[in-house]
Structure 1
């Protein structure tokens, strides 16, 4: 039996086919795909129409070999399910997409060893730049990041010795300022609730501890933590543990994120503890729900979207051989003071 001849309509669409359909050269099509910022908007639209019509899918591997540029930016974050990173990623995707870059995203699960493995995977794809979270990399990971010779931005915290560039804020100082706010509102016996206990959470706890030590009000048994991931339910359980371990003497609690703070707030209400009259509750990250619960939740607001934008812009400027003002950027924070801590 003869094998049926493959239909011409089944033939794989090539760059040359797109060039013919759009009435330009193959080189021009390649430039539209790989360097869209170097062609006019009208030409880009003309070629894109042909690409869409033919269903052409560019071979990015071949393109990167030909141009020595992958147009890929690697991004490593600790959790895809953590709402905190949603706005950071939105900023990254918006800036990188507008500049013609594709984002390759990996989840490191809050594990330095998993991060090492995932960063190796990213680097194997020849990214032009990397955005990674924090400074808790293994020695091996730090070593091959230094040797990558590409722009790298560590985000979410300020680092004393970043690998390359750094965009973040001082978690320890934020924790210190939360305690100062609570003391200023007349609260004196301030507890701490923490979960997961990654390096940034530990920095907030150290800021909390320092502020209380300075006024002689630090009590070790006012701290309740768990290695479990944060959730509203976990926040409620930790609040109950705090009240039990202190015989209910605490009159304020600093929670390392808003999930825990919401859980603490709901549990306080179930226990008939009035907030803020009997108990102040402060969260961190200022998620949308913080403003709308009753009483509204005081929280530390951080420009997460702006952080993603800034990190992306820094990488693009370096890739385009343009100067940057500073390799280390403090994005700052703001304590959003709401009803949950307003005794005065």
Structure 2
């Protein structure tokens, strides 16, 4: 017969306990806990026995109980503005690949480009005492900033850089990326250059600002050739905005789209309308999504290091969780101009 203490939770809640899993697998509760958390120091044969025992018993880890026992959870919260954008999916995959083998759970929050929604997510997740926060960009509500600061939870910011803030961040210069886009199109002899931006988060606006500054420096900036909309970025919207631009400004000879899906939509619409790319209009995208290399014509784009950013941000987080100081708190991962047929 089992002891009253070891099976107390089973009888009162009807749910199997970690102790039962450990007994069935023939290991200690500590080993069982480490195996279920995916910590790689547990021998694979023992980890397999623990996983099989958990499946047979229908055991589910109780994160609230774990946090209560250790005064802290084993979760790292990652907040991104979209799960529809391949950019963030690639970043999340890289984060998971670094943190999961260390026994850390990755909790994902999607705030749909809404600062208020992000604030709510931060408030809710901080109640679970996470080990760390991985946040996208620097733009958020003042209330969210205060909560993060007061929590004392280690935080790493992704996708943008701020060398003067004293924050841990991993990304690249959005301003420089926009300037590089303008310089590339100008190097192709284009002089009537447009910028198309959707969603209008801070990073999109910074890319537009970099593009604008480069054109102003060259004496080619025309404010009438900027198309900005808060609507979600999509292939369909790209075709629509391309048509709008060519109708109102038929003299345009180059367009920088803030995202590849918009640029892809422009290429498809150009094909329908018989507009020759790049002979009539050069088209440049941003992020270099996998499908861009297979468009007709193949889409030129600025490739962003989304996987590298996720991996490095997660590595910074591990350093902070270990109570150490990150030697290079601001890490510029750069970007790459990928020139194909569309420009």
User: What are the within-5 Å matches in structure 2 for residues 160-309 of structure 1?
Assistant: 160-162=163-165, 164-246=167-249, 248-309=250-311
CA distance in 2, matches of 1:185, 1:126: 53
The SS at the match of 1:58 is: coil
1:140 is aligned, of 123, 139, 143, to 143
Q: Aligned ranges for residues 3-152 of structure 1 at < 5 Å? A: 12-33=15-36, 36-37=39-40, 39-152=42-155
Q: Which residue of structure 1 aligns with residue 330 of structure 2?
A: 328
Q: Using the alignment, how far apart are the partners of 1:227 and 1:304 within structure 2?
A: 23
1:33 deviation in Å? 4.1
* SS of corresponding position for 1:147: helix
Q: Distance in 2 between matches of 1:11 and 1:253?
A: 62
Residue 151 of structure 2: SS of its match in structure 1?
coil
Q: Give the Å deviation of 1:26.
A: 3.1
Instruction: Report what 2:319 is aligned to.
Output: 317
- Deviation of residue 34 (structure 1)? 5.4
Distance in 2 (alpha carbons) for counterparts of 1:27 and 1:263: 54
Task: Identify if the C-alpha distance between structure 1 residues 122 and 188 changes in structure 2 by more than 3 Å, giving closer, same or farther.
Answer: same
2: CA distance between counterparts of 1:11 and 1:118?
Answer: 31
Change (3 A) 1:27 1:198: closer
| TM score, norm. by length of structure 1 | 0.90
1:334 Cα deviation after fit: 0.4
Structure 2 distance, partners of 1:120, 1:163, is 23
**TM-score of the two chains, using structure 2 as the length reference:** 0.91
Distance 1:276 1:48 in 2: 56
Cα distance in 2 between the residues matched to 1:12 and 1:204: 52
Secondary structure at 1:73's aligned position in 2? strand
2: CA distance between counterparts of 1:123 and 1:161? 26
Q: Is the 8 A contact 2:37 2:104 kept in 1?
A: no
Confirm whether residue 339 of structure 1 aligns to residue 338 of structure 2: no
What are structure 1's unaligned runs of at least 5 residues?
Answer: 1-7
Q: For the structure 1 residues 34 and 235, does the alpha-carbon distance in structure 2 shift closer, same or farther, using more than 3 Å as the test?
A: closer
In structure 2, C-alpha distance between the alignment counterparts of 1:35 and 1:236, rounded to whole Å = 46
Distance 1:28 1:259, change over 3 A: closer
Give the superposition deviation at 1:22. 2.3
Checking the alignment, whether the CA contact within 8 Å between 1:151 and 1:165 is kept in structure 2 is no
Alpha-carbon distance in structure 2 between the residues aligned to 1:227 and 1:43: 53
Cα gap change, 1:314 to 1:108, in 2 (>3 Å): same
What displacement does 1:73 show?
Answer: 0.8
Structure 1 position 15, deviation (Å): 2.3
Distance 1:289 1:23 in 2: 50
CA distance in 1, matches of 2:68, 2:275: 65
Aligned residues: CA RMSD: 2.0
Q: Which runs of 5+ in 2 are unaligned?
A: 1-10
Q: Distance in 2 between matches of 1:274 and 1:25?
A: 69
Q: Kindly state the Cα deviation for residue 207 of structure 1 after the two structures are TM-superposed.
A: 0.7
**C-alpha separation between the residues in 2 aligned to 1:190 and 1:118?**
39
Q: CA deviation at 1:221?
A: 0.8
Deviation at 1:162, TM superposition (A): 4.6
CA–CA distance in 1 between the matches of 2:135 and 2:62? 27
Q: Give SS of 1:17's match.
A: helix
Structure 1 residue 321 displacement after superposition: 3.4
Q: Which moved more, 1:103-112 or 1:20-29?
A: 20-29
Q: In 1, Cα distance between the equivalents of 2:271 and 2:16?
A: 64
Equivalent-residue separation in structure 1 for 2:34 and 2:255 (angstroms): 57
